[in-house]
Chain A
Amino acid sequence: MSEANSVEALLEEARLVAAMPPPEERLRLREAAGFSRAHFAATVGVGRQTIANWETGVSDPTPPARYPYLRILKGLAEIYPAPPAPHAPPANSEEIAALYTGTPTMPPQLPGPVPAALAGLETLRGPDGRAIEGDPGPCVRCGVETTYQSTDGRPLHSGALCQPITPAPPTRGPEATAPAPAPAAPAQAVPAPATTPAPAVVSPVAARVPTRPQRRSKSAERAEADLMGLIRGAVEHEAERAGGDEDATLKALIGRAIPDVMHLFNETRATARYEYTAYPALPDILHKPSKKDPDQIWEARPAYNNPAYSMRAPERDIKVTALDVNAAYLSALKVWLPIGKLEHSTGMDGVGPKRSGVHLITPAEWAHPHLPDPLGDRDTPGALWITDATLRLLLRLSGPKWALTEAPTVHESWTSGATENFLDALRKLLVAARSEAIAAGDRLTLEYVKAMYSKFVSTMGESVHNREMVRPDWMHLIHSQAYALHCGRAYKAHQAGLDIVALKHTDELHVTGDWRQVFTEGRGVSELKVKQGDGKTAGEYLVGKVGG
């Protein structure tokens, strides 16, 4: 029995030896499979250098390791058959090129005919398998200078990765003279491969390598497309589960909004540069004394009614339009957020363009008769804790451009190094999903996105519904950024000559005059729409002047 086996094994070994691949092929097969020499060596029971010798042709495999080695090679040859043309670029290099040029990957194409002069060119490699560099010279394949060489000593780009000479497509009328297709894509149809193609003019310019910003934006786009798939998938999944019942679907989607948005957030942070602190030690001012009582941060929510106008005036002759901001908290995700743990500092030490947190300030008096106080509707005078977003607004308004107020006095701060782009990837993703849903009239996705960003903001503090992070400072910063942006709209309208009748919450702005001169109408995040509703102050309504 065992004798028969060993006879079989010997015969099999003899067959394998007879069909032993040449050294280059041995190397190719191992590299195609992605195995290291050490791995191979351990498997067949020889040293690493022995494998290297077999692959460079220094020696040929000898028993007893020869049989397992050749069996592995035979198996690999079935998995990775030899490429049809020795210089054809690896299959995925075209895909990579397509990623950068933005053209979709072509399905496997017929390899173009190989110029006889270029057939059989291989990169010169040392015994360790690395390409050897020599004197620079123009590559015989693409013409661009290179220090790598082919096995016959001519300059050649390593690994056949350079742009092959595009065989001129056979003349087929005028379209042949049209601009050449992308260099990575050889002629789509070569009807007569037998005809020797005329060698094309070698371009002295290398194929365009995308710049780093281009690569980055490509990869960001890809990541965004993946995450958009997650959002669409969630909506589809829930719609399917609810069997087409829209209300049930929406309820399920809102129920899973918090874990979903945290997942999206973590996904957008997959390649992020900063580690953020999710559970920092918080200063007392950020602790809620009890579940129902707020902490000490003043978010400066606007609640402004211009005293000069009233609906109860004897003569109501001024037309007011109530405007509505789209997705105010979504836009406010772009805000300077402290990354690490907040640290205490006194005076102006904690105030800086790259720092953020909360500040104890005494504001200057707000005396403007027709514009809302950036600190909102505040009754108690004196010092108060505000966020960095509000402080930035105050400093802007006290600057030379606006000069609406004096700069506030900063007493102390809890701040940390900050970035404005922390939630930007998430914001862009949700904005894209939102505009896609609006364009498609998809109410489910729209409400789902809305639930995601609003719950993300409202539960990122101390919430039992979201334990992934405890950052009440971020929550306050995003809220007050929304209010600061809202105040900014009022100042912008006022500068353009409109009168502010009311500024409320995060999204209500009531103005007189032609607001379309100042703002764009629409549903995008940078646009405003006319507020709809049943209240007396919805849409367009009339007020009168009172007092002086």
Chain B
Amino acid sequence: MAGRWKDFGRYGANGAPGAEALGIAIEGMVHGISSPVDSERGLSARLNYLTKSDAGYEAMDRAGIHVSPRTLMAWLAEERSPNKANLTRLDAAYWDLRRRNVATDLKHRLNNNGRGTRVEINPVNQAGVEQKYQRDLAPRSINVRGVWDRAVDAWMNDDLADLDAVWDEILDLIGSDYDGYSYVSSIGWAA
């Protein structure tokens, strides 16, 4: 992580590492089945989504759902319902697959035909910091391009180190103030 904000939060500043905020903001662009997995509707929608393609079976494999085809058929036919552990795994498998499937679209939207996306960066909350320790930080808005493919891939693989590298590149665009934005309160964009 860039920056010399060594002991973050020591004087009461409040925020999240930029990489995390980046992941959360990308996550916010993904929409899927809104019914919860423990509802009948939510479960059948997830099972449908996961059994429509080979990628779905792979996702279930990755999530640790190792059930016999017979059981799976019974779930789909709503003759039996998964136990609690498998429900959680089904939900994880669904969102894993969903992320992979929307990644291409996200990259396309964020790259915006090479024009990139304007990112609003809101600095950490320093309300609890004594005046003499406060940094002079203002909200910033910068156009970011060329890093979105890596960012989305890193987010898809839950790779925080890679997201951090991307955030460092975004910080480069901020200029001499970059250090103050290694932690942020929120970021956002319209894509």
Q: Give CA–CA (A468, B189) in the complex, Å.
A: 7
**Which listed residue, B125, B185, B187, B190, touches A467 by the CB 8 Å rule?**
B190
The residues of A that contact B125 with a CB separation of less than 8 Å are: 281, 341, 343
- Tell me whether B10 is interfacial, beta carbon within 8 Å: no
Q: Closest CB of chain A to B158's CB: distance in Å? A: 22
Q: Give CA–CA (A468, B31) in the complex, Å.
A: 17
Cβ contact within 8 Å between B185 and A341: yes
**Which listed residue, A275, A278, A290, touches B188 by the CB 8 Å rule?**
A278
- Tell me whether B85 is interfacial, beta carbon within 8 Å: no
Which residues of A (456-502) have their CB < 8 Å from a CB of B? 464, 467-470
The residues of A that contact B188 with a CB separation of less than 8 Å are: 278-279, 470
- Tell me whether B139 is interfacial, beta carbon within 8 Å: yes
Q: Which B residue's beta carbon lies closest to that of A468?
A: B190
Q: Closest CB of chain B to A257's CB: distance in Å? A: 16
- Tell me whether A277 is interfacial, beta carbon within 8 Å: yes
Cβ contact within 8 Å between B122 and A291: no
Cβ contact within 8 Å between A341 and B122: yes
Cβ contact within 8 Å between B34 and A290: yes
Q: Give CA–CA (A278, B191) in the complex, Å.
A: 13
Interface of A is mostly: loop
Cβ contact within 8 Å between A277 and B191: no
The residues of A that contact B187 with a CB separation of less than 8 Å are: 279
Q: Which A residue's beta carbon lies closest to that of B187?
A: A279
Q: Which A residue's beta carbon lies closest to that of B186?
A: A281
Q: Give CA–CA (A275, B120) in the complex, Å.
A: 11
Given known A-B contacts A343-B127, A470-B188, A281 and B34 have beta carbons under 8 A apart:
no
Interface string of A342-376 (1 = CB under 8 A from B): 01100000000000000000000000000000000
Interface centre among A279, A292, A340 (most CB of B within 10 A): A279
The residues of B that contact A340 with a CB separation of less than 8 Å are: 139
- Tell me whether A280 is interfacial, beta carbon within 8 Å: yes
Q: Closest CB of chain B to A287's CB: distance in Å? A: 12
Q: Closest CB of chain A to B115's CB: distance in Å? A: 16
Cβ contact within 8 Å between B34 and A277: no
The residues of B that contact A464 with a CB separation of less than 8 Å are: 31
Cβ contact within 8 Å between B120 and A291: no
Cβ contact within 8 Å between A280 and B191: no
The residues of A that contact B191 with a CB separation of less than 8 Å are: 467
**Which listed residue, B127, B141, B190, touches A344 by the CB 8 Å rule?**
B127
The residues of B that contact A280 with a CB separation of less than 8 Å are: 122, 185-186
The residues of B that contact A281 with a CB separation of less than 8 Å are: 122, 125, 185-186
Q: Closest CB of chain A to B17's CB: distance in Å? A: 14
Q: Give CA–CA (A530, B134) in the complex, Å.
A: 58
Which residues of B (17-34) have their CB < 8 Å from a CB of A? 31, 34
Q: Give CA–CA (A467, B187) in the complex, Å.
A: 13
**Which listed residue, B34, B127, B189, touches A279 by the CB 8 Å rule?**
B189
**Which listed residue, A279, A344, A467, A469, touches B186 by the CB 8 Å rule?**
A279
Interface string of B66-92 (1 = CB under 8 A from A): 000000000000000000000000000
Q: Which B residue's beta carbon lies closest to that of A469?
A: B190
Interface string of A156-181 (1 = CB under 8 A from B): 00000000000000000000000000
Q: Which B residue's beta carbon lies closest to that of A466?
A: B190
The residues of B that contact A468 with a CB separation of less than 8 Å are: 190
Q: Closest CB of chain A to B94's CB: distance in Å? A: 16
The residues of B that contact A290 with a CB separation of less than 8 Å are: 34
Q: Give CA–CA (A518, B141) in the complex, Å.
A: 49
Given known A-B contacts A341-B185, A467-B191, A468-B190, A279 and B120 have beta carbons under 8 A apart:
yes
Q: Give CA–CA (A277, B138) in the complex, Å.
A: 10
Which residues of A (85-131) have their CB < 8 Å from a CB of B? none
Q: Give CA–CA (A182, B145) in the complex, Å.
A: 54
Given known A-B contacts A277-B122, A278-B120, A467-B190, A291 and B127 have beta carbons under 8 A apart:
no
Interface centre among B120, B127, B138 (most CB of A within 10 A): B120
Q: Which B residue's beta carbon lies closest to that of A467?
A: B190
Q: Give CA–CA (A279, B184) in the complex, Å.
A: 12
Q: Which A residue's beta carbon lies closest to that of B141?
A: A275
**Which listed residue, B34, B189, B190, touches A291 by the CB 8 Å rule?**
B34
Interface string of A238-281 (1 = CB under 8 A from B): 00000000000000000000000000000000000001011111
Which residues of B (25-51) have their CB < 8 Å from a CB of A? 31, 34
Q: Closest CB of chain A to B141's CB: distance in Å? A: 8
Q: Give CA–CA (A344, B12) in the complex, Å.
A: 14
The residues of A that contact B141 with a CB separation of less than 8 Å are: 275
Q: Closest CB of chain A to B129's CB: distance in Å? A: 13
List 15 interface pairs A-B (beta carbons < 8 Å), by A numbering: A275-B138, A277-B122, A277-B139, A278-B188, A279-B120, A279-B187, A280-B122, A281-B185, A282-B186, A290-B34, A340-B139, A341-B125, A343-B125, A467-B191, A470-B188
Q: Which residues of A contact B (CB under 8 A)?
A: 275, 277-282, 290-292, 340-341, 343-344, 464, 467-470
* Contacts beyond the supplied A275-B139, A277-B139, A468-B190: 8 A-B pairs with Cβ under 8 Å: A275-B141, A279-B188, A281-B185, A341-B125, A341-B186, A464-B31, A467-B189, A469-B190
**CB-based closest 10 A-B pairs:** A279-B188, A281-B186, A281-B185, A467-B190, A468-B190, A291-B34, A279-B120, A343-B127, A277-B139, A278-B120
